[in-house]
Amino acid sequence: MSQTRSQKYSQAVFELVRDLVNAPEKKQLNNQGVRRYKALCKRSGSMLRTVGLIQFLIYLKAKAMKNGEEHHRALLEHVQSALGSLKILESKDTDVMIDKIRKHNLPEYMRLTREVLHLLQWHKRISDILIQGTAAEGDD
């Protein structure tokens, strides 16, 4: 039986978030970082709608370069990985991914924006289920 688009997206995102929760040390995130990731997922959809796809990705990339902002790096890597695994946009490097998106014509750019927004909706849902606590709470 064939999976729907939403089922494929949710499966791709579930595996990424599950791996983050089960082995945060691989992403260099402590418990507080994982909770920050959850908070970032919750606001990412509205941020994308406000600033646009390229600006959203560049924001994640810029924040990922700062020390203590590993949750931004994790979300950027998850978006890139999911786009690749779903055969929407394959790239090994975030700069290449951003450049590919930037070069698309407007209808394709809008389609990619909808795809990333759909992925972010699944990140929000799944991180809310799998990650306990909030970013405001102290480390366990």
Predicted confidence at residue 1, as pLDDT, reads: 72
pLDDT of residue 139: 41
* pLDDT tens track for 48-81: 999 999 999 999 999 999 887 899 999 999 999 9
Model pLDDT for residues 17-55, shown as the tens digit of each residue: 999 988 756 656 788 889 999 999 999 999 999 999 999
pLDDT of residue 16: 95
pLDDT > 60? residue 138: no
Alpha-carbon gap, residue 35 to 50, rounded angstroms: 23
Q: Per the structure block, which two tokens stand in for 138? A: 């102290």
Q: Calculate what percentage of the chain has a pLDDT beyond 70.
A: 92
The 3-state DSSP class for residue 68 equals coil
32's tokens: 């507080």
Cβ atoms of 88 and 101 within 8 Å: the answer is no
For the chain, the residue count is 140
> Are the beta carbons of 75 and 41 closer than 8 angstroms?
yes
Do 87 and 50 form a contact (C-beta atoms < 8 A)? Answer: no
Q: 5-128 belongs to which homologous superfamily?
A: AF1862-like domain (1.10.520.30)
Average pLDDT along the chain? 91
- Confidence check: pLDDT of 140 > 60: no
Integer-rounded Cα radius of gyration of the chain: 15
Inter-residue long-range contacts of 98-103, CB under 8 Å, 24+ positions, other chains counted: 98/54, 98/57, 98/58, 98/61, 101/53, 101/54, 101/57, 102/54
Residue 95 carries which side chain, given as an amino acid letter? D
